Amino acid sequence: MSRLYLGNFSFEQGSDPAFQVPQTIRRFEAELASVWWSVAETGDAILCLDLIPESDRQRLNALAGQQIEVLHPEQVAPGRFRELVPWGWTQAARQLAARWKIPVSAPEDAIIWQANSRVTALEIARQLDCALPDETVIASLIELMPRLQAVCRTHSGWILKPEFGQAGRGHLRGKEPFLSEAQLATLIHLFSKGTRFTLEPLLLPMAEISGQWKIDVDGTAQLIGITKLIADEQGRYRATGTNLVEIEAAARENIVQKQLQAVQILARQGYRGPVGIDAMLCREGSSVPIRPIQDINARWTMGRLGWEWGQRLRQQGTWVHASNVEGPALAMSPETVGGIPCRCRTWWVSGVGQ
């Protein structure tokens, strides 16, 4: 009996029961299936809709030091696995578990979506007295416009984040107290569907880090590790670094203690499982303010899997997500899946703390 890993990386869209995964996202999920080699163990299997070449399977098994199988959904025998491990729990994941006769011990849907809500994250930050002064929830254009003006009076810009979203996707941002035509059209459409956003001032990051946590079945919160979060200018995730030498001990302790309290709140609300909490060290004149709770992800995260790769490889480094990288790098994903070149690939660059 073993675990079956499911890379439903479009997890956040699953908050809408009517969401149908488009073919482009299915391809994206197939290309990213190899990230599970960082945690899967001998006897486990990884789900993938397309064929990963045998040579890549053997190479990744050698890197992980495990013998891991890759299965198409039609190859899964009911009753074989003791646990389904999805990126995040959705109704679709529960249906697969029922189909394959795998017991589910995950919290109820309402608890999972509450834990993943940016509105919840803001409520927790306020409860722990570490929310940003101008950070607020926005549910309509009428609420938004005066808030934009207030943020722009004291900061260099603003960011709007949908209540459920990941890796920087779906963010809107600007430096003036008004919206572009495209932003206005997007917001009118999303507000009409009941989408809520959080509005934040645009900050200048000195460093972004991510705390990787786990809440055990008895509600105990456990810190797994701290990683460096590397994003592009639009806030989209690009890499995980395991070298945190530039984070001072006092700043790290501040972040860990606030995040521990946040995870304990999630545990009291009934959530169990993996949690990733992003934090930021900002630049403001000569001071370095700390934002210990920037985003809460009650699911697996790329930061967690990057940390796990570092543990398996027993070295510091950077786990990069890119079609290719310059200089020496170890390929951590296949070049092709289903006979088609992959656009979403991962690499390990040793000894880099960028």
276-328 pLDDT tens trace: 999 999 876 555 589 999 999 999 999 999 999 999 999 999 999 998 888 89
Mean pLDDT of the chain: 92
b/e sequence 112-136, b meaning 16+ C-beta within 10 Å: bbbbbbbebbbebbeebebbbebbb
Compute the distance between CA of residue 152 and CA of residue 140 in angstroms, rounded to an integer. 19
How do residues 340-352 score in pLDDT, each as one tens digit? 999 999 999 997 5
Which residue type, as a one-letter code, is found at position 198? T
Residue 9: pLDDT band by 50, 70, 90 thresholds? very high
Inter-CA distances, 340 with 24, 57, 350, 354, Å: 13, 16, 28, 31
Is the pLDDT score of 58 beyond 80?
A: yes
Domains of the chain in sequence order: 2-106 (no CATH), 118-201 (3.30.1490.20)
pLDDT for 354 equals 45
Tokens of 160: 């709007």
Comparing 194-203, 209-218, 230-239, the range with the smallest average pLDDT is 230-239
Tokens of 259: 């995040």
pLDDT for 286 equals 52
Burial class (CB within 10 angstroms; exposed 0-12, middle 13-18, buried 19+) of 232:
exposed
How do residues 138-164 score in pLDDT, each as one tens digit? 999 999 999 999 999 989 999 999 998
**pTM of the predicted structure, to 2 decimals:** 0.93
Name beta bridge partners: 215: 221, 273
**Mean pLDDT confidence for 9-31:** 86
Compute the distance between CA of residue 141 and CA of residue 13 in angstroms, rounded to an integer. 23
Q: How many other C-beta atoms are found inside a 10 Å radius of the C-beta of residue 293?
A: 23
Can you point out the beta strands (E) in the chain?
2-6, 45-47, 69-71, 81-86, 136-138, 158-162, 172-174, 197-201, 205-215, 221-231, 237-241, 273-282, 290-297, 317-321, 330-331, 336-337, 340-341, 346-350
Q: Please report, to the nearest 10 degrees, the dihedral formed by the alpha carbons of residues 31, 110, 303, 104 taken in order.
A: -70
Compute the distance between CA of residue 282 and CA of residue 183 in angstroms, rounded to an integer. 26
pLDDT for 107 equals 96
